[in-house]
């Protein structure tokens, strides 16, 4: 496995908080206002972890949430990583994001979610959200000279606006548009019957992405492969990514669509997390969970009910 040749993760994906100022129907992290996780890392530990990540030689960190900018030490964490030589990608819903927090830092990109091209559809999928604020955030990112990515989560509510959202991404000057089949995780899993597009609409969506990919080559990169969780599971099983996913309370998750955690940075030094992560990919429970996911995408529905690999000696029951 490629991860065996790496002495440190190629990337850390760090969910700073589960709290959010929106309550999106498709949210894969169960985020909403006031939903910070009990035991989220306090400022001091978050800053020392940022230093440990940099000292470990991790080149790249994705800062996510929830809405990461709601955390009072968001800017300090970004600065500590950047000063340690780590490049940043920051994910935001763009509702109250202050781009100046990233001034002078090593920022590879800022990703703004745009789940609709009209205010009505955007607000239906993102209750509490305002499309105009997200667009203004995208413009502010570009005005600050930072590279912009747009992400789009397709649902029954917004899939017909996908083409118009791609046009908005172009207008804003984004260099990348990220999407894929809706993930059956978190809030999305609970509202699945209301949200899941039909197979026929997915086929049209995929055809649109393939056509626009050809048309926009060299202007806007469309990232949509692997397109579905089963495809993703097969790819992850074959070649585990060099990415450590850190949850808001410091636990390290093996992979977003699996329930397993393999480490806790509040109990042991960060440097040991990489070995624990690599070891987890030899664990038969993890391998079987990937196989289940490849055969049945519904098995991701309870992936946010985390289970520490060290605390259970048995397989979790399959989700029905």
Beta bridge partners of 91: 111
Judged by CB under 6 A, does residue 11 bind ligand SF4? no
Which of 8, 11, 16, 24 is in the footprint of ligand SF4 by CB under 6 A? Answer: 24
- Look up tokens 């480490």; give the residue: 263
Our CA angle for 205, 209, 213, nearest 5°, is 170
Burial of 23 (C-beta count, 10 Å sphere; 0-12/13-18/19+) = middle
Shortest distance, CB of residue 73 to ligand SF4, whole angstroms? 18
Task: Show contacts with ligand SF4 in window 175-214 (CB under 6 A).
Answer: none
Work out which of 20, 112, 150, 301 binds ligand SF4, going by CB under 6 A: 20
Q: Are 22 and 68 in contact (CB under 8 A)?
A: no
Strand partners of residue 308: 261
**Separation CA 48–CA 266 (nearest Å):** 11
Q: Looking only at residues 89 through 118 of this chain, which bind ligand SF4 when binding is defined by CB under 6 A?
A: 93, 113
Residues 254, 256, 261, 264, CA torsion sign = positive
CA 266 to chain centre: 22
What does the DSSP 8-state code read for residue 299? G
Residue numbers 115-134 binding ligand SF4 by CB under 6 A: 126
- Output 9 or 66, the one with its CB closest to ligand SF4: 66
User: In angstroms, rounded to a whole number, what is the distance separating the alpha carbons of residues 134 and 307?
Assistant: 35
If you ran DSSP here, which 8-state letter would residue 307 be given?
E
Segment lying near ligand SF4 (by CB under 6 A), choices 17-25, 49-57, 116-124, 134-142? 17-25
Give the separation between CA 284 and CA 256, rounded to whole angstroms.
Answer: 18
The residue among 29 and 243 lying less far from ligand SF4, judged by its C-beta, is: 29
Residue 140 engages ligand SF4 in binding (rule: CB under 6 A): no
Residue of 24, 80, 32 whose CA lies nearest to 54: 80
66 makes contact with ligand SF4 (CB under 6 A)? yes
Q: Which of 12, 27, 56, 117 binds ligand SF4 (CB under 6 A)?
A: 27
The answer to whether 158 contacts ligand SF4 (rule: CB under 6 A) is no
Residue pointed to by tokens 């509490």: 128
The answer to the question of residue 65 lying near ligand SF4 (CB under 6 A) is yes
Q: Shortest Cβ distance from residue 152 to ligand SF4 (Å)?
A: 12
- Does 69 sit near ligand SF4 (CB under 6 A)? no
Q: Nearest CA to 304 among 63, 64, 27, 90?
A: 27
- 245 in contact with ligand SF4 (CB under 6 A): no
**At closest approach, how far in Å is the CB of 89 from ligand SF4?**
15
Minimum distance from CB of 95 to ligand SF4 (Å)? 8
Length of the chain: 320
Scanning 64-72, 203-211, 275-283, 302-310 for contacts with ligand SF4 by CB under 6 A, the matching segment is: 64-72
- The site for ligand SF4 (CB under 6 A) is made up of 20, 22-24, 27, 29, 31-32, 65-67, 93, 113, 126
């Amino acid at each position: 496995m490629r991860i065996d040749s790496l002495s440190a993760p190629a990337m850390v994906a760090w969910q700073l908080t589960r709290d959010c100022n929106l309550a999106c129907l498709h949210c894969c992290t169960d985020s909403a206002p006031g939903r910070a996780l009990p035991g989220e890392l306090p400022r001091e530990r978050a800053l020392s972890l940022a230093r440990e990540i940099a000292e470990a030689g991790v080149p790249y960190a994705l800062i996510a949430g929830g809405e990461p900018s709601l955390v009072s030490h968001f800017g300090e964490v970004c600065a500590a990583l950047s000063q340690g030589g780590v490049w940043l990608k920051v994910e935001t819903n763009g509702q109250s994001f202050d781009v100046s927090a990233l001034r002078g830092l090593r920022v590879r990109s800022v990703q703004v979610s745009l789940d609709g091209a009209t205010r009505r559809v955007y607000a239906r999928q993102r209750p509490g959200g305002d499309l105009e604020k997200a667009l203004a955030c995208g413009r502010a990112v570009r005005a600050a000279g930072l590279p912009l990515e747009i992400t789009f989560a397709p649902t029954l509510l917004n899939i017909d606006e996908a083409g118009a959202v791609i046009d908005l991404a172009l207008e804003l000057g984004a260099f990348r548009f990220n999407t894929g089949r809706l993930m059956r995780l978190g809030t999305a899993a609970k509202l699945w019957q209301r949200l899941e597009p039909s197979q026929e609409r997915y086929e049209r969506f995929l055809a649109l992405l393939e056509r626009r990919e050809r048309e926009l080559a060299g202007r806007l990169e469309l990232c949509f492969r692997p397109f579905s969780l089963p495809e993703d599971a097969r790819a992850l099983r074959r070649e585990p990514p060099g990415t450590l996913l850190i949850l808001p309370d410091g636990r390290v998750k093996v992979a977003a669509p699996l329930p397993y955690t393999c480490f806790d940075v509040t109990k042991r030094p960060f440097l040991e997390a990489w070995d624990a992560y690599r070891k987890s990919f030899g664990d038969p429970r993890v391998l079987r969970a990937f196989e289940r996911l490849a055969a049945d995408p519904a098995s991701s529905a309870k992936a946010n009910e985390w289970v520490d690999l060290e605390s259970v000696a048995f397989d979790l029951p399959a989700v029905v």
